Structure 1
Amino acid sequence: MGVNYLIIGWLGLVILSIVISASDIRNRIIPNRYCIAIFIIALLISSVPYQFTWGLKVVALMGLFVLLYCFRFWGGGDTKLSIAFLPAISEDYLLLFPAVIGLLGGVLALFYLLLGYFTDMDRVRNHGLPYGIPVCFSGLLCVAASF
């Protein structure tokens, strides 16, 4: 696949990630159509050799993401979004993906904790955290590293 298609696809992921992050901040909703678009672009630009060990790691990560949803750590949109990025992430960066999500999620939680301290903590607590932001950033980072 030509370099131009990879760049266009990655820019498409960047634009969608910005739209998703804005939607998550504003409404705490990640629309399914955006997750499907991320998944399709990830499939189209993927240069990942789909091997057995890659598949095992992807299944394990999908299980982790579903568990995070089951324990109400994050929402269904965050789970679908995380899974949508996986086809374009090479085996070398699969474990970095949730690690960066966790690190950036901690920074996001600290930011919202400080925001709640200086404003209204109940308002911040009732709205939840927009984890789509760390998911998108981590996904873009790991997809770019996978090229």
Structure 2
Amino acid sequence: MTNPNASPAVWVNGILNVDVKGTIGDTPVKLTSFLTTSLSTSFNQLGGYNFSFEDNHSSSSRRSLTISLRKLLDPSIAGYFEYVVTERGLQPYDYEVTSSSGIAVSQLNSGLYLYSLDNLQISAKAVHGDETRELTGNGYFFLQELTYPI
């Protein structure tokens, strides 16, 4: 019997290994690669979910790769952020994603999805600067839709 007092919920688990290269000014640099299992998920007001792989080695090197799951079978890279330290504290430094590879999706059963980020490739340019980033990597995550009793 369905519980009328249940709330939608989601469980996620995954890993992402990313190699980062880019330019700062006109100088090409190989930046610190990261392996992350830090994940966050939120409900999107327009439907579906927002999902982020987050790296937080230290305040000035925190990075986040966001994936839009508005349509569970059609995910897309929504953004890439690096964080900088300012007088007001830690602030996101936005990058506009100019190209990205696809994300393979498998629906394993009703409500359970596997997202494969094999051969991930992302190009991005800083919104307020001339920095660029090239991200490559591999990873995956599971998403399971659940109901949670109120």
TM-score when normalising by structure 2? 0.29
Higher strand share: 2
Higher helix share: 1
TM-score when normalising by structure 1? 0.29
Which of the pair has more CA radius of gyration? 2
